[in-house]
Amino acid sequence: MPSVRPARLTAVLVAGGLLLATGCGGGPSPAGSSSSSRNAAGYPRTLDNCGQKVRVTAPPQRAVSLNQGSTEILLSLGLADRMAGTATWTDPVLKDLRKADATVERLADNMPSFEKVLDQEPDFVSASFESTLGKGGVATRSQFDTLGVPTYVSPADCAKDNSGDGDGARATRLTMDDIYGEIRDLATVFGVAERGEKLIGELTARVTSATRNVDASGATLLYWFANSESPYLAGCCGAPGIITDAVGAQNAFGDTHQEWPQINWETVADRNPDVLVLGDLTRKQQSAETAAKKIRFLESHPATRSMDAVRHKRYVLLSGQAMNPSIRTVEGIEKVAAALHTFGLDRGDR
């Protein structure tokens, strides 16, 4: 475990009055918590989260969010003034959140060290992926638990089997209700339930508007997140599945339950999807992160350049966050629905 600053960390935990109780038993209560923290209206609050119980005795005041999806939920709930840091970004922050985001320290564009997170004296830590708060990530939940820091992981991620290599596999299809559940959980932790319901209402209305009279049955979509040598393509049941179901289309690789299987280009060419949905990422971790690089590859590779979607340039560009379970998945539904209309693949127009 990296070195920590025990005196500083203890001080903030005492001031915040927060405790995490796991399925194996909770950590010690911070000694000397103020009566105002202990008696915060409506607290303590306990959530069941990915097999653990998260207990907070007061609204967090120094939260750290370790993935962009979680960060954008907290910012959308108007909680920038209660955030001490963010990390792990694939895209620019949503335009309407830029001002709020600028007030929160970015600890790292990618994954920060455990010590860097602890330097912020967090009283709550959230993440979008189990891998972020697991072995090989920032730190395990039990490590934060030992220090009395509550942690939360998106239920959309722990609903899949993350035990093997790769990005896991899903036995059941993800839905927008899973994303709405995460919003409700975080709004509950911070004591802003009304803001959570307002945000859910806004997202629901956008989905309804984007999919009204849309019928893309018969059209096949392929989702490419990143990597040109061994491309990560969407399986049936993650966020791309939500988008595909919303517009009534078919996923070219809907026959696999892996979240992001790596599939060779010859197999892709054989499937010959009607539309290619391309991740337009700004991070710099793998080959073909941006949509521009993906398109250059597709139009020059011998196995893909003759595909119908490539010849007709039927490309839809999405942020990485729209292709992960997040509030941006709604953006994905909107853009794919609009593109299908433009490409003449929306039977609802006929």
Check residue 41 and give its pLDDT.
84
Total count of residues recorded for the chain = 350
Token readout for 350 is 């006929």
Q: What is the pTM of this model?
A: 0.87
Which domains, ranges and CATH numbers included, belong to the chain?
Answer: 6-153 (3.40.50.1980), 214-349 (3.40.50.1980)
Token readout for 29 is 């209560």
Strands 275-279 and 151-153: unpaired
Check residue 28 and give its pLDDT.
33
Token readout for 35 is 């009566």
Pick from 143, 133, 150: which is nearest to 58 by CA? 150
How many Cα neighbours within 13 Å face the side chain of 18? 30
Per-residue pLDDT of the chain (350 residues; tens, 9 = 90+): 332 333 334 434 433 444 434 333 333 333 333 334 455 789 999 999 999 999 998 999 999 999 999 999 999 999 999 999 999 999 999 999 999 999 999 999 999 999 999 999 999 999 999 999 999 999 999 999 999 999 999 999 999 999 887 899 999 999 999 999 999 999 999 999 999 999 999 999 999 999 999 999 999 999 999 999 999 999 999 999 999 999 999 999 999 999 999 999 999 999 999 999 999 999 888 999 999 999 999 999 999 999 999 999 999 999 999 999 999 999 999 999 999 999 999 987 65
Which residue is it, tokens 């059941």?
172
Check residue 113 and give its pLDDT.
97
**Those residues with Cβ within 8 angstroms of residue 31's Cβ, 6 or more apart along the chain or in another chain:** 14
